[in-house]
């Protein structure tokens, strides 16, 4: 049973009763239809049709085939409709993967997107390992650093996150405003646990801040932020999450070399789909205010 096209041909013959009619429906020559039937019957070893000059009538086996193939035809029609329609509707899973620490920025936007497109099931993955777009593990990835240059990936600039050194109001009142980088003696810092961190300001910190002054380290940016807020020490925080916080004081303004550039990455094939396009548009529309600050 290893030729589904012949089954399809036999199905039309069984349905219509004539080779000519089946040929017309199938858009092939009636000779082809006869050859398909002959081949199928030869391989099955059973006659599917009674041949006579007024057409073909299905035998019991042919009628059995008719029933099965009828169901198959329906199934395929529905499948086709689903698949063709799927490209134009915003529904199903939408997998977004990103580096940790952007949750505070992204989750509200994702929530808004989901509210606008209720048929979407969002999956927001922030894992250590890089999810690979090539395997279809994610629809959209948000990457940091230099622009990714994988083939088959569509890369667009997303945001440039600026970082500055912040301290809690309480800390500044107690220790005074340090002059950075000239007079930092006696000051305490909060930093990243990962000594090989690829955060853009990490190198500046390694070079400028003596290790013994970094009294709190964590890999979780939310923990870092909490530590700064608690007055443990000064630390790098994204401006987007600090400007409206009255408990934080900008100890040193953002520097260009501390900027972290974010990229929106999608797989070439998925990039064209309505679903991904809708998501990218929503993302851009709702980060407009952040983008203006940067330029």
Partner DNA sequence: ATTCCCTGTTGCAAATGCGCACGAAAGCCG
Partner DNA sequence: CGGCTTTCGTGCGCATTTGCAACAGGGAAT
Q: Where along the sequence are the contacts to DNA (CB under 7 A)?
A: 5, 18-21, 27-32, 34-36, 51, 53-56, 151
Report the partner that residue 20 touches, choosing among DNA, a second copy, none (CB closer than 5 to 8 A by kind): DNA
Shortest Cβ distance from residue 27 to a second copy (Å)? 7
Rank residues 152 and 257 by Cβ distance to a second copy and give the closer one. 152
Exposure letters 80-118 (e unless 16+ CB within 10 A, then b): eeeeeeeeeebeeebbbbbbebbeebbeeebeebeeebe
Nearest distance in Å: CB 71, DNA: 23
* Partner from a second copy, DNA, none binding residue 32, C-beta < 5-8 Å depending on class: DNA
253 binds, among a second copy, DNA, none (CB under 5 to 8 A by kind): none
Contacted entry of a second copy, DNA, none for residue 76, CB cut-off 5 to 8 Å set by kind: a second copy
Which is nearer to a second copy, 135 or 207 (by Cβ)? 135
Contacting a second copy (CB under 8 A), which of 20, 38, 76, 170? 76
In angstroms, give the least distance from the CB of 6 to DNA: 8
State in angstroms the smallest separation of the CB of 108 from a second copy: 26
Q: Is 3 in the site for a second copy (CB under 8 A)?
A: yes
C-beta closer to a second copy: residue 135 or 295: 135
208 token code pair: 């400028």
Kindly list the distances between the CA atom of residue 85 and the CA atoms of 80, 139, 270, in Å, as whole numbers in the listed order: 8, 18, 15
By CB under 8 A, what part of segment 259-278 binds a second copy?
A: 267, 269-270
Query: Going by DSSP bridges, is the β-strand pair 120-125/92-98 parallel, antiparallel, or unpaired?
Result: parallel
Residue among 20, 29, 31, 93 that touches a second copy (CB under 8 A): 93
Whether residue 181 is preceded by a cis peptide bond, meaning omega within 30 degrees of 0, is yes
Read off the DSSP letter of residue 212: G
Cα angle for residues 268, 272, 275 (degrees, 5° grid): 120
3-state helix, strand, coil in the chain (%, to 5): 45, 25, 30
- The answer to whether 125 contacts a second copy (rule: CB under 8 A) is no
CB of 218 to DNA, least distance (A): 31
103 lies in the binding site for a second copy (CB under 8 A): no
Interaction residues for a second copy, span 146-205 (CB under 8 A): 152
Query: Rounded distance, CA 251 to CA 270, Å?
Result: 43
Q: Which residues, numbered 195-254, are part of the site for a second copy (CB under 8 A)?
A: none
Q: Checking DSSP bridges between strand 55-58 and strand 214-218, what pairing results, if any?
A: unpaired
Closest contact distance (angstroms) between CB of 82 and a second copy is 6
Contacts (Cβ under 8 Å, ≥6 apart) of 293: 162, 239, 240
Min CB(44)–a second copy separation in Å: 6
50 touching a second copy, by CB under 8 A: yes
Instruction: Work out whether 75 is an interface residue with a second copy (CB under 8 A).
Output: yes
**Cα-based torsion angle of the residue sequence 70, 76, 82, 84 in order, rounded to the nearest 10 degrees:** -130
- The rounded distance, in Å, linking the Cα atoms of 119 and 116 is 9
- Give the span between the Cα atoms of 148 and 47, in whole angstroms: 61
């Amino acid at each position: 049973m290893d030729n589904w096209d012949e089954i399809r041909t036999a199905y039309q013959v069984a349905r219509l009763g004539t080779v000519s009619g089946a040929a017309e429906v199938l858009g092939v020559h009636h000779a082809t239809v006869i050859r398909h039937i002959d081949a199928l019957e030869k391989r099955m070893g059973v006659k599917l049709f009674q041949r006579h000059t007024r057409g073909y009538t299905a035998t019991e086996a042919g009628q059995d085939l008719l029933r099965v193939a009828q169901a198959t035809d329906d199934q395929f029609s529905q499948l086709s409709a689903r698949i063709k329609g799927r490209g134009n509707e915003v529904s199903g899973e939408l997998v977004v993967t990103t580096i940790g620490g952007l949750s505070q920025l992204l989750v509200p936007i994702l929530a808004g997107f989901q509210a606008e497109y209720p048929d979407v099931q969002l999956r927001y993955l922030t894992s250590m390992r890089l999810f690979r777009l090539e395997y279809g593990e994610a629809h959209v990835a948000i990457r940091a650093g230099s622009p990714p240059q994988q083939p088959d990936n569509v890369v667009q600039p997303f945001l440039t996150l600026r970082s500055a050194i912040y301290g809690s109001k309480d800390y500044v009142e107690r220790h005074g405003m340090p002059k950075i980088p000239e007079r930092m003696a006696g000051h305490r810092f909060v930093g990243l646990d990962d000594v090989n961190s690829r955060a853009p300001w990490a190198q500046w910190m390694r070079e400028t801040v003596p290790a013994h002054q970094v009294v709190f380290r964590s890999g979780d940016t939310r923990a870092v932020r909490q530590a700064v807020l608690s007055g443990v020490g000064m630390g790098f925080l994204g401006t987007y999450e600090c400007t409206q916080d009255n408990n934080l004081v900008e100890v040193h303004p953002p520097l260009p070399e501390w900027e972290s550039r974010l990229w929106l990455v999608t797989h070439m094939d998925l990039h064209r789909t309505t679903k991904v396009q809708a998501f990218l548009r929503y993302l851009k529309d709702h980060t407009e205010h952040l983008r203006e600050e940067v330029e």
